Amino acid sequence: MIRSAIEGVPDKLKCGMRVSDVDPAKVTIGPSTGFDEETLTAVTSGRVDPAVRLFIETAAAMRGCDEPAADALAGALLESEIPADMGADALEKALAAIDESDRAIRSVSRSARLSAELSGLPEGVRSAVLDAEAAAGWRYAGPGIRVLPLDLGGSASAEILRISAGAAAPRHSHKGMEYTLCLIGGFNDGPGSYGPGDVSVADPDVTHRPVADDDGPCFVLAVTDDDLKLTGFMGVLQRLVGG
Amino acid sequence: MRPDDTSPRPPTRPAGDGLAETDRERFADLLGAVAASRDRSAYAELFSYYAPRVKSYLMRLGADAALAEEIAQDAMVTVWRKADLFDRRQASVSTWIFRIARNRRIDVFRRSRKPDLDPDEPMVLPAAAEAPEARVEAKETEARVREAMKGLPQEQLDMLNLAFYEGLSHREIAEKLDLPLGTVKSRIRLAFTKMKVRLDGDA
């Protein structure tokens, strides 16, 4: 469905998605064209799957096509709210909850090195990584490959992969579409090379084997919709490609 | 959460005074102190300003007082936990806390209300491309957004409020205001474009 939408559109698209001449499965989000207002609010207000939201917000921020003015407006409106009375012990309760969460968070420090590698990324994804490190943590997934599953609470699955320089992710296919956003470093999957901010879209027919560039580790955010429930993402992508 | 609540709703749009630039700077310092030295008195000050406003925001979206308080609490605990992710070059404290509150709200209400993007809605074309290097610092954006808000007609500001603050879809706004969808789209587009022109105007 998405693929057919992508194949039919011109190389340079008005809304920020560009499809490579070489490979229709490779989609690159172009720099700084911004989202239309409806997509922007749909993505930020939770009307799309949380994994998709993280994916799109991160890609947009990395490519400089997010919209700081929209959130700044919301921030200004928050300041203008007439305060609603909180319970008398609200602060004490918050501080008690903080003490508890501080105790739980101490165990996270073992992952500090990986977090440092990710420190330059947009806040949403850094925050998701911190939460995931505090929960399941990184898993070994083959030589040179580590996986961090993100529990975002939606129907799509999202994970961060860390592929060591020159290492290859296991050859794999998937039941649904797989969307990969290159976060740091670069990789090559045969038909295409990807750098930070590039998006690869693979449909269920594609069996691929991403290999990290040999100049450093590569981090990607991968979102898979095995259940084919990603109507939100379908919608956003279709809007973006004009389908 | 929205359609069938019966709780009293605040006025259409926040009507209090915003922060002066010096206060915004001070709040950024306070949040910096929370991040750097887990400063509880700095946190208490942020809490007393933001928690009641976040609660108002949640009640505006239809939560009853008890639920709004609970989510506001939770959001403020997240503020403490994630203070070291705050980057004052990227956003003001208000914008940053708004995002946290919005995300908590989405997490909580995702279970009960989950309309996806409406695939039938035609898309609104985005504004022309702008160069990434033209991006201004957050402080600048914040100041100019406030300036631009003052210059917008009430009606357009209300539209932006519903779309970007309350997070309603264009279709929901059309239903709420009993206006044709096309009118809503063009008004939001006009208002947002106006605001952005003011942002980019004398960059």
Residue B101 sits in a domain of what CATH number?
A: 1.10.1740.10
Q: How confident is the model over B17-61, as pLDDT tens digits?
A: 888 889 999 999 999 999 999 999 999 999 999 999 999 999 998
Q: Is residue B147 one of the residues assigned to a domain? A: yes
Q: Is residue B186 one of the residues assigned to a domain? A: yes
The parent domain of residue A54 ranges over 2-65+112-241
Q: Is residue B156 one of the residues assigned to a domain? A: yes
**pLDDT band at A243, cuts 50/70/90?**
very low
Q: Within 10 Å of residue A196's Cβ, how many Cβ atoms?
A: 17
The number of domains in chain A is: 1
Place of tokens 């004490």: A92
Q: Is residue A104 one of the residues assigned to a domain? A: no
Report the residue from A31, A45, A97 with minimal CB separation from B132.
A31
Please tell me whether residues B158 and B104 are part of one structural domain: no
Among A32, A39, A41, most B C-beta atoms within 10 A, so best to mutate, is A41
Residue B139 sits in a domain of what CATH number?
A: 1.10.10.10
- CA A202 to CA B91: how far, in whole Å? 34
Q: Is residue B101 one of the residues assigned to a domain? A: yes
Please tell me whether residues B166 and B88 are part of one structural domain: no
Q: Is residue A228 one of the residues assigned to a domain? A: yes
Is the distance from CB of A117 to CB of A184 less than 8 angstroms? yes
What's the whole-number mean pLDDT along residues A60-86? 84
> What is the share, in percent, of chain A residues with pLDDT greater than 90?
24
Please tell me whether residues B43 and B101 are part of one structural domain: yes
The parent domain of residue B176 ranges over 133-201
Tell me the pLDDT of chain B (203 aa) as tens digits. Answer: 444 444 444 457 777 788 888 999 999 999 999 999 999 999 999 999 999 999 999 999 889 999 999 999 999 999 998 888 888 888 899 999 999 999 888 877 765 544 444 333 332 222 223 334 434 577 888 888 888 888 888 888 899 999 889 988 888 899 999 999 999 988 888 888 888 766 665 44
Please tell me whether residues B98 and B140 are part of one structural domain: no
The number of domains in chain B is: 2
Q: What is the sign, positive or negative, of the torsion defined by CA atoms of A6, A8, A9, A15? A: negative
Chain A residues in contact with B146 (beta carbon < 8 A): 76
Please tell me whether residues B32 and B102 are part of one structural domain: yes
The rounded radius of gyration (Å) of the Cα atoms in chain A is 19
Residue A159 sits in a domain of what CATH number?
A: 2.60.120.10
Q: Is residue A31 one of the residues assigned to a domain? A: yes
Q: How far is CA B22 from CA B18, B92, B146, in A?
A: 12, 12, 14
Taking only residues 160 to 189 of chain B, the set having a beta carbon closer than 8 angstroms to any beta carbon of chain A reads 160-161, 163-165, 167-170, 185, 188-189
Distance from CA of B54 to the nearest CA of A (A): 7
CA angle A234, A240, A242 (to 5 degrees): 95
- CA A21 to CA B66: how far, in whole Å? 55
Q: How confident is the model over A137-174, as pLDDT tens digits?
A: 889 988 999 999 998 877 788 999 999 999 988 766 66
Distance from CA of A144 to the nearest CA of B (A): 28
- CA A13 to CA A8: how far, in whole Å? 11
pTM value is: 0.74
Question: Could you tell me which chain A residue has the CA closest to the CA of B93?
Answer: A75
